[in-house]
Structure 1
Amino acid sequence: MFTGIIEEMGRMRRVYRQGQAMLLTVEASRVLEDVAIGDSIAVNGVCLTVVAFDGDSFTADVMPETYRQTNLGELRSGNPVNLERAMGAQKRFGGHIVQGHVDTSGRIVSRQPEENAVVFTLEPDDKSMLRYVLARGSIAIDGISLTVIRTDNETFAVSIIPHTLAETVLALKGPGDRVNLEADILGKYVERLLSFQSGEQPGTGRGRKSGGLTEAFLAENGYL
């Protein structure tokens, strides 16, 4: 589990591709301080497993499913990337729950300054993820924990303070660039739980009708 608080920007040293499988070597410093084989490090919001490391880099595999669902396939040697180690039990929880399991990639539609902030408007490739996105809710963009300021059926927008912009790869991105998107996990679990009451497959709207969320249902499932 991650928090979406980026620890440092690393840089791609080597990108090896074999079909839709990849082997990435990333130059880093801070995230290597206590690294071990098997540790999880989020690279642009994608949870990857360390398979090798040395004094100034680590290497991780990318499987085909991750290649298809994220923008990692666009990485080239020299590209900067956001890095975050898995959250330690002793650390403050500064962002929101980020799994490193990207829902879809998306495209930056616009980047507009607004006094001390910059507003990014984004369009997900898979519009169905927007059912989990709401104003004042949380979303991870390339692994960065951000707050949604508005949304509709096609896009959503976030406002970014100067510190976050300066410390992450979003500083280098603009309209047309692609990013990884992960919605807040809470909405996904609520949808899944309610689907068993309604008989629907999550996200499809198919299945038998029911009376909706009731006090009896909440009590039966431990919420009351």
Structure 2
Amino acid sequence: MFTGIIKTTVPIVSIIKKTNFHIHTILLPKFLLQGLELGSSISYNGCCLTVSNIQKKLVSFDIIKETLKITNLKILNVGNIVNLERAIFFNKEIGGHLMYGQITCTATLRKIIFAINNRKIWFEINKKKMQKYLLYKGSIGIDGVSLTICKVIKNYFCVALIPKTLEYTTLGNKKIDDIVNIEIDIQTRIIINTAERMMSIFTKKIIQNNSY
């Protein structure tokens, strides 16, 4: 699991593309290499990826069809910058909110509002059926960054970025029409899905009782 507090950003140094399968390689900073081994998990633009190869500071990830289908990793190129976070240790302080690296869908950047020392960015969720999970003051992961939704209008939502987020993540360099990975907060999904199932069961019982 992850916290959504990005530890560093790095460029992609190599991409090998095969049918329904990509291999991404990055140059990992020394402070993130400690204890890293094959099979370790890293949040890579918000996607939980497994380390498949380590050659000194060069770290590679295998990316399969399902991940390519759901995320923005399929459109990344060599030289593009990605957000990174190592998996959390539970004996340390946990900031942000708990994230699993399981991308729900993508969103497209539609509007940027500039202000002194902060910035607001509007996104359009690319799967309308996911808009029910967009809640005012709800947590959301954007390219692996833990953020709070500050406004929602149908399938559009806005987040506010502080200077540190702009400086230490890729979000500070995003442009109109850029596509980002979205992880909906798991607790939000569980609560809403459970409420919908209960309402469906309750409604069916009412219909059955009225049919007698």
Report the TM-score, using the length of structure 2 for normalisation: 0.91
Within 5 Å, give how 1:1-224 maps onto structure 2: 1-29=1-29, 30-199=31-200, 208-209=203-204
Cα pair 1:9 1:28 within 8 Å, conserved: no
Q: Distance in 1 between matches of 2:76 and 2:124?
A: 20
Q: Distance in 1 between matches of 2:204 and 2:157?
A: 30
Gaps in structure 1 of 5+ consecutive residues: 201-206, 212-224
Q: Would you tell me which structure has more helix in proportion to its own residues?
A: 2
Q: Distance in 2 between matches of 1:26 and 1:208?
A: 52
Gaps in structure 2 of 5+ consecutive residues: 207-212
> How big is each residue's C-alpha offset from its partner over 1:11-68, in whole Å with a ceiling of 9 and x where there is no partner?
1011111122111111111322220111100110000000111222211111101000
> How big is each residue's C-alpha offset from its partner over 1:145-169, in whole Å with a ceiling of 9 and x where there is no partner?
0111100112000000011111011
Offset of 1:132 from its aligned partner? 1.2
Q: Flag as ranges the 4+ runs of structure 1 deviating above 6 A.
A: none
Cα pair 1:31 1:83 within 8 Å, conserved: no
Q: Distance in 2 between matches of 1:177 and 1:196?
A: 35
Q: Distance in 2 between matches of 1:158 and 1:92?
A: 24
Q: Aligned in 2, Cα 1:150/1:17: closer, same or farther, shift over 3 Å?
A: same
Offset of 1:199 from its aligned partner? 4.4
Specify the alignment match of 2:209 in structure 1.
Answer: none
Q: In the alignment, residue 152 of structure 2 is paired with which amino acid?
A: T
Q: Secondary structure at the match of 1:14?
A: strand
Q: In the alignment, residue 13 of structure 1 is paired with which amino acid?
A: V
Cα pair 2:133 2:192 within 8 Å, conserved: no
Q: Would you tell me which structure has more strand in proportion to its own residues?
A: 2
